[in-house]
């Protein structure tokens, strides 16, 4: 059965634009082209060892006029500048091929790949849509399979969205996870006017089998070519999100037809694509909007996730990525803490699931903020807020659940502080390891002390600290000896700073990245927590920077920017004592976790019951894991309030 539910744009033409600002630094967009599966990390254009030759001699077609990215000269110059920046800055430039090596897949050669990217631009004399250039560059950088190698457009690019969110479930299917309230209202209005079944056709949990006649699995593979990710799991999660909301691979037409499976049969649901506010007049999307008729609308909730869309505002239907696992009543009592930029960063509280003991619950969505604030209270240092919370849990004899499933990473010193908080009393646990690309840039950074430096854990002996002066000397020595990397720097053993001895369960997934990978590996390596969920992303780069010395590279004209990590993270094996030095070869062989996701002890992935029942499956798995997690100093207090 086929039912067309077309959102009539004329009926919504007077809708006021969504009040929230569009996401900052949204990535570039363009019409999708036929591409190879995401697992093939090579360019489809033959490499040209001299792609950057005589760039200034390339002619600019008269048809280009003043368009900034029309001429091959401009585009090739940008691609070549990026090639040079990657070769001089990127920490994994010489070792990425080894990291990506696997049976049955083509060898990845970083220089040949970047040359091929430049050659592809040289082969296009005139580009009449700059969004296609940005998409090609996205695919160029995404092929490095590094979640930190993030491409942005300094002027920003609007998003397109359908107003419905999809999720990949444990059975490999793609299902409706959430509908924006505005979409539900619009669908039901069309239903009343036309007799179509309305929002029921996209009920939460409904399976989506195709988009515009193409199998959803094929589209996930295609969109995966555009997203930076250090593992296949992370790539697929982000590609599924991009099926219905993205800032790249703009659709070629105004509508999208979702083929859904209901009651043993399929039907087609046609939705309208919408642009985020400002898209109709944005210099890079105005032509797209004029060509396709796609325009802005309040049907979609455009709030960026990090700035607040994960607070439900009373809408309890379905599942969004930031939803906690605790029952709705307990979730409503969690205290929300916001970061330096107003983003939702942490939720803290406790929960008493039916038939289970009460436990402390800390949902940490990001480490990328120096401070946390809640309500009208003044902002406090991030570690201090967590320390008070863990102390309180210890005093009440409650075990702890860390929800890290959607943690985007951030300052690695916060993950170090958290690992110290959870180190058992009178014990130590292994810390992290850091290795840097020995370049002039990193040398300048360490003359000022990078803000993302791991720092010295509380109580660490002075002679064991990783102060910038020692790292600076190592960078200078490596550059003088023409070595590419510094030695690996080991954190001192972590000592308990909260006297917390309860059980710990940490929830992880492929969207736990960077500093989140790091804390997951540290807790698992120390035997301090039972990890439940899916493998983490495996994003092991680090961005060591200082004021005025950002790792973000931009071309001379400010048309393209790429964050190029200059350091790599690792985690020490247990026990925490032992060597305090390692060569670069030893680091990459045994300590680095780039492209090496942390495997949980208990595997679980989102299921249908999680979409329709507020993460019910995740909660059940968590309660079961708490029962078997090792206790260090106490069992849960049987008299604790339930």
CATH number of the domain at 410, please.
3.90.226.10
What's the pLDDT band for 440 if we cut at 50, 70, 90? very high
pLDDT, position 496: 84
pLDDT, position 576: 52
Query: Of 302, 329, 350, which residue constitutes the final position of a domain?
Result: 302
Asked if residue 466 has pLDDT above 60, the reply is no
Question: Residues 286, 399: one domain?
Answer: no
Tokens of 214: 């193409």
What's the pLDDT band for 223 if we cut at 50, 70, 90? very high
What's the pLDDT band for 313 if we cut at 50, 70, 90? low
Question: Residues 178, 242: one domain?
Answer: yes
Asked if residue 18 has pLDDT above 90, the reply is no
- Kindly report the pTM of this predicted structure: 0.89
pLDDT, position 637: 43
Question: Residues 483, 610: one domain?
Answer: yes
Question: Residues 297, 394: one domain?
Answer: no
Tokens of 595: 């492209």
Asked if residue 586 has pLDDT above 50, the reply is yes
Count structural domains, the chain.
2
pLDDT, position 311: 73
Query: b/e for 387-396, b at 16 or more Cβ within 10 A?
Result: bebbeebbee
Least confident residue range of 39-53, 60-74, 353-367: 39-53
Query: Of 302, 334, 363, which residue constitutes the final position of a domain?
Result: 302
How far is CA 613 from its chain centroid? Answer: 25
Question: Residues 215, 238: one domain?
Answer: yes
Structure confidence by residue, pLDDT tens digits, 190-204 = 888 987 768 899 999
Structure confidence by residue, pLDDT tens digits, 511-569 = 999 999 999 999 999 999 999 999 999 999 999 988 888 889 999 999 999 999 999 99
Asked if residue 114 has pLDDT above 70, the reply is yes
pLDDT, position 42: 43
pLDDT, position 196: 74
Residue 486: inside a domain: yes
Which residues fall within 8 angstroms of residue 104, CB to CB, at 6 or more apart?
A: none
Rounded Cα distance, 226 and 528, in Å: 37
Least confident residue range of 242-246, 365-369, 578-582: 578-582
What's the pLDDT band for 360 if we cut at 50, 70, 90? very high
pLDDT, position 47: 53
Distances in whole angstroms, Cα of residue 416 to Cα of each of 433, 522, 565 = 11, 9, 20
Rounded Cα distance, 150 and 157, in Å: 14
Rounded Cα distance, 152 and 554, in Å: 9
What's the pLDDT band for 103 if we cut at 50, 70, 90? low
Question: Residues 312, 363: one domain?
Answer: yes
Sheet of 567-571: strands edge to edge?
Answer: 489-490, 432-436, 567-571, 541-542
- Three-class SS of 575-622: CCCCCCCECHHHHHHHHECCCCCCCCCEECCCCHHHHHCCCHHHHHHH
Residue 584: inside a domain: yes
**Neighbour-count burial of 181, counting CB atoms closer than 10 A to its CB (0-12 exposed, 13-18 middle, 19+ buried):** middle
Where do runs of H (alpha helix) occur along 435-590? 440-445, 468-480, 515-525, 584-586
Question: Residues 343, 231: one domain?
Answer: no
Residue 20: inside a domain: yes
Rounded Cα distance, 404 and 401, in Å: 9
Rounded Cα distance, 83 and 114, in Å: 6
pLDDT, position 49: 60
Q: Are 271 and 182 in contact (CB under 8 A)?
A: no
Rounded Cα distance, 169 and 483, in Å: 46
Q: What angle do CA 30, 139, 27 make, to 5 degrees?
A: 50
Question: Residues 418, 501: one domain?
Answer: yes
What's the pLDDT band for 10 if we cut at 50, 70, 90? very low
Higher pLDDT, 635 or 535: 535
How far is CA 156 from its chain centroid? Answer: 18
Q: Considering only the C-alpha atoms of the chain, give the largest distance between any 2 of them, rounded to a whole number of Å.
A: 81
Average pLDDT over residues 458-462: 42
Asked if residue 6 has pLDDT above 60, the reply is no
Long-range contacts of 93-97 (CB under 8 A, 24+ apart): 93/437, 94/484, 95/588, 96/144, 96/145, 96/146
Rounded Cα distance, 624 and 617, in Å: 11
pLDDT, position 510: 98
Nearest to 269 by CA among 177, 162, 182: 162
Residue 106: inside a domain: no
CATH number at residue 169: 2.30.42.10
Rounded Cα distance, 227 and 27, in Å: 10
Higher pLDDT, 221 or 7: 221
Question: Residues 483, 555: one domain?
Answer: yes
Average pLDDT over residues 134-159: 96
**Residue 447: which domain range?**
306-628
Rounded Cα distance, 417 and 287, in Å: 49
Residue 91: inside a domain: no
Q: Output the average pLDDT for the chain.
A: 86
H or E segment to which residue 337 belongs? strand 335-338
């Amino acid at each position: 059965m086929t039912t067309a539910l077309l959102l009539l744009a004329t009926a919504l033409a007077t809708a006021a634009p969504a009040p929230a600002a569009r996401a900052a630094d949204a990535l570039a967009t363009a019409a999708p082209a036929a591409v190879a599966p995401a697992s093939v990390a090579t360019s489809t254009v033959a490499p040209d060892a001299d792609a950057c030759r005589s760039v200034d001699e390339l002619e600019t077609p008269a048809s280009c006029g003043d368009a900034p990215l029309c001429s091959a000269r401009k585009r090739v110059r940008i691609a070549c500048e990026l090639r040079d920046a990657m070769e001089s800055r990127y920490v994994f430039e010489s070792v990425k091929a080894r990291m990506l090596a696997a049976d049955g897949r083509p060898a990845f050669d970083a220089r040949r790949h970047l040359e091929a990217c430049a050659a592809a631009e040289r082969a296009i004399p005139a580009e009449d849509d700059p969004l296609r250039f940005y998409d090609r560059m996205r695919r160029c950088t995404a092929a490095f399979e590094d979640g930190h190698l993030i491409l942005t457009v300094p002027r920003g690019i609007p998003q397109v969205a359908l107003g419905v969110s999809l999720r990949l479930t444990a059975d490999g299917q793609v299902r409706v996870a959430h509908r924006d309230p505005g979409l539900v209202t619009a669908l039901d209005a069309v239903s009343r006017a036309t007799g179509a079944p309305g929002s029921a056709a996209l009920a939460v949990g409904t399976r989506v089998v195709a988009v515009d006649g193409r199998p959803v699995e094929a589209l996930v593979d295609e969109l995966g070519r555009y997203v930076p990710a250090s593992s296949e799991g992370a790539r697929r999660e982000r590609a599924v999100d991009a099926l219905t909301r993205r800032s790249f691979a703009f659709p070629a037409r105004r509508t999208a037809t979702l083929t859904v499976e209901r009651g043993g049969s399929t039907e087609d649901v046609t939705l309208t694509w919408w642009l985020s506010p400002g898209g109709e007049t944005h210099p890079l999307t105005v032509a797209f909007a004029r060509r396709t008729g796609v325009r802005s609308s309040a049907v979609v909730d455009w709030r960026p996730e990090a700035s607040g869309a994960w607070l439900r505002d009373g809408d309890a239907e379905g599942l969004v990525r930031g939803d906690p696992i605790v029952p709705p009543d307990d979730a409503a009592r969690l205290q929300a803490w916001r970061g330096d930029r107003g983003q939702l960063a942490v939720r803290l509280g406790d929960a008493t699931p039916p038939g289970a003991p009460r436990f402390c619950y800390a949902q940490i969505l990001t480490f990328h903020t120096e401070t946390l604030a809640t309500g009208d209270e003044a902002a406090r240092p991030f570690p201090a807020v967590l320390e008070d919370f863990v102390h309180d849990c210890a005093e009440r004899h409650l075990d702890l659940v860390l929800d890290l499933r959607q943690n985007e990473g951030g300052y690695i010193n916060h993950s170090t502080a958290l690992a110290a908080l959870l180190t058992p009393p009178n014990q130590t646990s292994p810390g992290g390891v850091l290795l840097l690309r020995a370049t002039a840039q990193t040398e300048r950074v360490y003359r000022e002390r990078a803000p993302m430096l791991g720092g010295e854990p509380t109580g660490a002996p002075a002679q064991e600290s990783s102060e910038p002066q020692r790292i600076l000397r190592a960078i200078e020595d490596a550059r003088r000896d023409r070595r590419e990397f510094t030695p690996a720097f080991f954190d001192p053993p972590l000592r308990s700073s909260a006297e917390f001895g309860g059980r710990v369960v940490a929830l992880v997934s492929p969207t736990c990245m960077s500093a989140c990978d790091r804390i997951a590996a540290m807790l698992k390596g120390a035997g301090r927590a039972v990890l439940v969920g899916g493998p983490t992303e495996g994003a092991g780069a680090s961005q060591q920077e200082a004021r005025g010395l950002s790792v973000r590279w931009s071309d001379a004209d400010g048309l393209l920017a790429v964050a190029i990590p200059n350091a790599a993270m690792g985690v020490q094996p247990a026990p925490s004592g032992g060597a305090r030095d390692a060569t670069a070869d030893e680091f990459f062989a045994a300590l680095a976790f780039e492209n090496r996701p942390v495997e949980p002890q208990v595997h679980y992935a989102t299921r249908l019951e999680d979409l329709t029942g507020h993460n019910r499956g995740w909660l059940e798995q968590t309660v079961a894991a708490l029962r078997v997690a090792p206790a260090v100093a106490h069992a849960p207090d049987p008299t604790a309030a339930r």
